[in-house]
Amino acid sequence: MAWLVLGIAVFTEICWALSLKWAATIGSWQASSVPIVLSFLNMALLAFAMKGLPAGTAYAIWTGLGAVGVIIGGVILFGDRVTPVQAGFMALTVVGVIGTKLFAPA
C-alpha cells in the first residue's frame, strides 16, 4: 500500500510543479490556488507513504521520479527543450530509482 501511495505522491508532485508554471502564465488567484492545494496534498501523501517505507527510500524515489516527470511534462505541455545529454542523465535517474526500489528493505 505504501508503494501505491508513493506513486500517487510522485504524480501529485509532478502536477504540483507543472501547475506552478501554469499558474504563473494565467496570473489569477484561482490559478495560484491550484499549486497551494496540490502542495498540501503532495506532502500528506508523501508523509503517509513514509509510514510504511524508509524515509530515505521514499524521498529518493519521490524526488527522482518527480524531477524526471516534470522535465517530460515541461516538454509536452510547455515546449521545453531537452538535450541528449540531459535525457541520458534522466535515464540514469530512473535507473537509480529502479535500483532503490529493487533493493529497498520494505
Would you write out the chain's pLDDT as a tens digit for each of its 106 residues? 999 999 999 999 999 999 999 998 888 888 889 999 999 999 999 999 999 999 999 999 999 999 999 999 999 999 999 999 999 999 999 999 999 888 877 5
Ranges of each domain in the chain? 2-102
Distances (CA, A) of 60 to 29, 42, 84: 32, 15, 24
Backbone φ and ψ of 45, nearest 5°: -65, -45
**Position 16, amino acid:** W
